Structure 1
């Protein structure tokens, strides 16, 4: 009965489309993200190396951390997150060079658990391992040679370093500063890290989610199993099982709307520059709403992912978009089952 009521509340909450949380200076976070991701990607495209766009964009994903932190905390968190993104991009390319779907699934699951523990220990915001899972899964999904490994490392490192500089650039513009309403993050002890309620269940979900979702997607012949793996961990950042199921519901309807929007955009077969501009607008949309209404944010996240994919590897838009929707639904179904199975039980 408790599970049924919890799930029902989650589904109802998922359809609160018009409910937005406070803006809270989201425009500054969106601007930093657009500059941090857009500039490195524009550079590699200008050099005629669209194949490096994924490395550049994932390297700059450290710009998505510490959106509400003061400059000192932001510098530390984005530097640490940047190192993590560089490592996961490089690991993904190494896995791709070795080859093998099952190795990619195993590597993604390991990054999922490691990223969760690292973000929890370091008190990163946002928490969880969504971005490193996305990076290693995407980079491992495309065939790569060993010669690409140092290139991926260099490109992602340059993008991450640039994002750190952008994160500190607000010091030059006092109007863009805002106070941090949260205390500085304090590293957790081993007992605090592993002994908190729900951590063991989280570890199971972060480990099993990518393995189960990736295995099913690969066995079914999905072209992008990592999309299922990403969706299996995406809802796990919620503070409770109810919030996590609601987040999963938000992601599925947001993805469906985003897929339709992506198909409309790609039906016009835009060139490289218009595609990049639209992708960056989608990035801005996602950052403007990600802390206010997750479903609305995903409407932008989906075209961003599909358009960046299109820039890196040309493919049939309808097939790719359909695969995105199906594998997202698969990953979220796995996530919901794991969330309900691993939720903390009431005692007493």
Structure 2
């Protein structure tokens, strides 16, 4: 008599080289380091230049407007809202307006949520968890609305700016209103200058990836939320003043669609941040005036949008001083060890991101990495 188990087809064999240990070894090879150093041309240099100009105009306009307004203490939140101009650089004009509007909405929502939590008296640990939830929720929103790069990392950056707390409900709404005003400036700048960009051709030379199934989006968001929480909790336990920077690092690294991209992002982010931190440390040591800082932010913002498409590490060299100078304007008293802490936070965030990416990876993720590494070896 034949046992029913004998009639079942044998289970498919696991593809070779798809264990997590093997994936980790693939990510630590010299070939992976070479990939992270590779230079690639952006889809459109003209659009990169125009995007840099748009972001620079929006951020400088926000900084200047709030500096001369009755609310100069909100200058940092206005500049954060202006970062909505970074989204949709390869989209058609109609789609770009929608994308900038939705990105501004997410920036305002992130600022509002964290400000409310801080005003409600949430403990530092709870604030870190709120930040992680913002990272996960914004990941789902960015994917669902096809907003593309720079992705959820900018939303987490805005949320982190509000971790310092709001003393009253008026301050909570002021933070959100200032961010919304910056977003409105970004939208206006993009509408007025988008004619300078190349329109997305009808054939879709710069196509947007269609949203993945909701289940996949939620899994990706969960991974990023856990990564942001772990990185920020480590930074908080170490006594660092800006645990949100570690969460930003983890979010940026784990946004990569494949493991080899995640590892390249981690290496590039760490290297670029170290160089950028040295640069901004030298700048802040000179005690620059407000307008010198604004001018430097404008230069770094413009240069970033041009070079980051060639290599992510190059962009981090200029993103780091820009972000720290914006933080300096919002909270000058906290400028002391910002540069050094940024390096530590970035290393923690990047390390947590890559470790958790491997631990949470699916069999398909690891099989893709094995095929990619095999193709690179043959090529």
- If the length of structure 2 is used for normalisation, what is the TM-score? 0.83
User: Residue deviations 1:117-160, cap 9 Å, x none?
Assistant: 11111111216411111111221134543221121122111111
The answer to whether structure 1 residue 244 and structure 2 residue 262 are counterparts is: yes
Partner of 2:138: 115
Aligned position for 1:6: 27
Which residue, out of 44, 52, 61, partners 1:39?
61
- 2:214 is aligned to 194
Task: Tell me the distance in 2 between the aligned counterparts of 1:195 and 1:51.
Answer: 42
Counterpart CA distance in 2 for 1:92 and 1:227 is 15
CA distance in 2, matches of 1:185, 1:294: 20
Q: CA deviation at 1:235?
A: 1.3
CA distance in 2, matches of 1:206, 1:180: 30
Q: CA RMSD in A?
A: 2.2
Query: Could you tell me how far apart the structure 2 residues matched to 1:201 and 1:194 are?
Result: 9
Contact 2:99 2:147 in 1 (8 A): yes
- Displacement, 1:302? 0.5
In structure 1, the residue matched to 2:3 is: none
Q: Give yes or no for contact 2:231–2:246 (8 Å, CA) kept in 1.
A: yes
Cα drift, residue 337 of structure 1:
0.3
Listed one character per residue, the Cα deviations across residues 22-46 of structure 1 (whole Å, up to 9, x for unaligned) are 4522110000000111101111122
Secondary structure (helix, strand or coil) at the match of 1:68 reads: coil
Distance 1:48 1:325, change over 3 A: farther
Per-residue deviation, 1:195: 4.2
Question: Hey, what's the Cα distance between the residues in 2 that align with 1:84 and 1:316?
Answer: 26
Runs of 4+ in 1 over 4 A off after TM superposition: 183-188
Q: Provide the residue aligned with 1:257 in structure 2.
A: 275
Count of equivalent residues: 338
**Counterpart among 18, 21, 24 of residue 45 in structure 2:** 24
Partner of 2:173: 150
In 2, Cα distance between equivalents of 1:177 and 1:234 = 26
Kept in 2, the 8 Å contact 1:218–1:225? The answer is yes
Q: Tell me if structure 2 keeps the 8 A contact 1:283–1:304.
A: yes
In the alignment, the residues of structure 2 paired with residue 203 and residue 47 of structure 1 have an alpha-carbon distance, to the nearest angstrom, of 38
Deviations 1:227-279 (A, max 9, x none): 11111101122221101110111000100000111011112211000111101
Cα drift, residue 49 of structure 1:
4.1
Question: Structure 1 unaligned runs (5+)?
Answer: none
**Offset at residue 201 of structure 1 (A):** 4.9
Which entry has the higher C-alpha Rg, 1 or 2? 2
Partner of 1:85: 107
1:292 Cα deviation (Å)?
2.0
Task: Single out whichever of 284-293 and 141-150 deviates more from structure 2.
Answer: 141-150
**Is the partner of 2:213 in helix, strand or coil?**
helix
Correspondence 1:235 to 2:258: no
Mapping of residues 257-296 of structure 1, within 5 Å: 257-296=275-314
Match of 1:61 in 2: 83
Q: In the TM superposition, what is the alpha-carbon distance from 1:316 to its structure 2 partner? A: 6.0
Q: What is residue 179 of structure 1 aligned with on the other side?
A: 199
The separation in 2 between residues aligned to 1:152 and 1:270, in whole angstroms, is 25
